[in-house]
Structure 1
């Protein structure tokens, strides 16, 4: 059995109008005015797209709402979100896939340069970028990412290359910070409900993992292009992010060409910014249930990716350096397939168990260490098992990411401003976890390689 309900915004407007009318009239006049308002509200309900309450108790769009979405290009809007996620993260993933070429045996250093500026922008962004319109932020993101690819392409030494990686990290962090806040703004204003923007953004960022890794593999291993040529080929891609935002996302999310400022639609929000006390209190309340699981799952995940993939390849291939180096980007690609699966899963299933998934990722870290240090199994079956391991690792990491964003948005469904702020800073969890993984990986990978090859041989390894 289904129950038809009017949209919340119209219900609030009708209720507010009734209260105002009742307070201004006497008893007799109030009765007549209330009748008129009731007639008006009834007509408004008949004209309003309906939401159908499904058996699980969640709001689902009715036929009228679905038709309205299609008329307004709603599905193109979701494609726009996916494209923005794809183009935001592709340079980031491309640099990680190229980590062993940029600085063999020091991929943890590449990871730190690819993450630290992103963490910095998320730390200060809530304070200094809170009132900055969305469009300039996204334009800056696209320009910085494109410039970073050019900088790495023309770098003459590792320091210059890592500087370009750091600029790309700044762009990626600014993009994620901005789009997650924008998703919070749109949270209550689309009939698709909480999951639509997060699911589309998650699918795009998950696909970026495959796109970035494939660009590197096809360019360097199939087409035999140099690292410089590969970066130059990818350089125009970030600029398309702003095009996707301007033509597909902004018309629905921000009302076309009007300013990005608050439109004040939420009855509980006024035009004043959130106070410092409210921001700190919100950050404290979301740390354990949301930021904590993200920190743990990404610390374990990126420690595996950056410190263990090359040693796992050496173990699986009996110490064959060439085959291990060839396996490294393929493991990255396989891992990103798992990320894509889980980050797209929000369209179909919600899994609120954030801490259990994070603890399973920590168990993956322990299993990888055991294989490298103790078991040291090799052979074709071990190679296959390593690829399965990479998929499972990606599924857990991506699953925690999208479900954390969705659950946080649901928990703050009463306030758009709190949603925007909380979703813009929750990324501190995954970014901090990745940064800590980079600090660990910068020496752990060398230690693991040395345990199999000797210190001198591991330092001379070139992939």
Structure 2
């Protein structure tokens, strides 16, 4: 990791001779060349992919984690003998094929640590260097795969899920803050990468288990992903000259020692470093004003995520088609994969389609949630393929809400407010997910106790 610190320090040192020279007014906003911009786009895409990968895999494996589908001779890829059937190990008197514990429990374990991190980070995260934060993300993600893979109990598995949540939550707020040192194009790259994590994570888990690997071996295979995250941060990013010195040690701009200044990165090449380093820390009143201005985006985003994760962790397991060719574990994995495919497509569409009315996406997602809840209750869907289409549509709405919200927040925030605003925006989706997990558990229990 010493390479990281040296490279960022060199970038900061190179800017020392430019302190007294303001950038010409006609100069491009991004002082980096096209090659460096491509490297940064690729770097943030991979960081988004790796950051959300463990989180997504844990949700895709939720059914296996809770039903202990770790028997190599079945692996959820064929008919399950009666002695291994979930119906005989949980609520066998219900019309639904249920685990004893709702997959909403996995969702809560996967999101509550993230919620805590995002609420507390704006007050203290600037005290820790980027290199240390990335290192913690890598270690937590790696540990999550190992802990769940070698788990002997549901409690141990959920602890592994908690580690994945810590990695994802800390990584999201770290890398979104890091984007404010770069061209705004990296926001789209990051968003697309997080969408790619959903698709590739769910598809890889589905593919490996379909190929015959046990869930345990599939998770062990995925321990390479945190290593890719570390390599992307160390070797792929080409930080601009105005970026602070960030390594394992103290993170601070050149010749400046006040940690509060680190919260105010340079956002464009038209400003000089002294202008940035002299920017004061936001007051509590200013932060309140920023948050109030963002509510028109944050509340709809929370609603979007509440509805879609209520579907994912409250209804997916109950949408079981007994006459389909796929087993119950296979159906659950396909639901997760199709949802993530929709998320990837819409999160990668910001350059083509921009939506500012986030509330419209919230309304459509709520209608989707109500329809699928009715479908679970009355079991009127004629085919699993109808469920597939609705789940793909759900993912499209969720991904569109995410990427368009962050673009709107970035565009409408003042430069001196942008880093704080991006951090606050991270809380909205996490809050919606947390509430959905809490609601999904009693809903799951209600349906599973129906005769």
Task: Please report the TM-score for the alignment, with normalisation by the length of structure 2.
Answer: 0.78
Aligned to 1:437: 436
CA change 1:254–1:446 in 2 (3 A) is: farther
Q: CA deviation at 1:258?
A: 6.3
Matched, 1:312 2:316: no
CA–CA separation in structure 2 for the residues paired with 1:133 and 1:420:
16
Aligned to 1:377: 380
For the 8 Å contact 2:245–2:253, the answer to whether it is kept is no
Aligned to 2:45: 82
Q: CA deviation at 1:282?
A: 2.2
Q: CA deviation at 1:239?
A: 2.3
For the 8 Å contact 2:46–2:229, the answer to whether it is kept is yes
Q: CA deviation at 1:126?
A: 0.4
Q: CA deviation at 1:49?
A: 4.3
- Kindly provide the CA deviation profile for residues 73-96 of structure 1, in whole angstroms up to 9, marking residues without a partner as x: 211210111000000011000000
Aligned to 2:162: 166
SS in 2 for 1:439: helix
The answer to which structure, 1 or 2, has the higher relative contact order (CA under 8 A, 6+ apart) is 2
For the 8 Å contact 2:375–2:381, the answer to whether it is kept is no
> Any unmatched runs of 5+ in structure 1?
1-15, 19-40, 52-60, 455-463
> Any unmatched runs of 5+ in structure 2?
1-19, 68-98, 255-264
Count of residues in correspondence between the two structures: 379
CA change 1:257–1:428 in 2 (3 A) is: closer
CA–CA separation in structure 2 for the residues paired with 1:253 and 1:394:
38
CA change 1:274–1:157 in 2 (3 A) is: same
For the 8 Å contact 1:81–1:201, the answer to whether it is kept is yes
For the 8 Å contact 1:185–1:419, the answer to whether it is kept is no
For the 8 Å contact 1:114–1:169, the answer to whether it is kept is yes
Aligned to 1:98: 61
Which is higher, the Rg of structure 1 or of structure 2?
1
SS in 2 for 1:427: helix
For the 8 Å contact 1:262–1:271, the answer to whether it is kept is no
Q: CA deviation at 1:361?
A: 0.4
CA–CA separation in structure 1 for the residues paired with 2:241 and 2:61:
35
Q: CA deviation at 1:234?
A: 0.9
1:326 aligns with one of 314, 327, 330: 330
2:296 aligns with one of 267, 289, 296: 289
Task: Please report the TM-score for the alignment, with normalisation by the length of structure 1.
Answer: 0.76
Q: CA deviation at 1:250?
A: 4.8
2:33 aligns with one of 49, 58, 69: 69
- Kindly provide the CA deviation profile for residues 36-79 of structure 1, in whole angstroms up to 9, marking residues without a partner as x: xxxxx9xx56xx5458xxxxxxxxx9xxx8xx632x42112101
For the 8 Å contact 1:357–1:396, the answer to whether it is kept is yes
Say which structure is richer in helix.
1
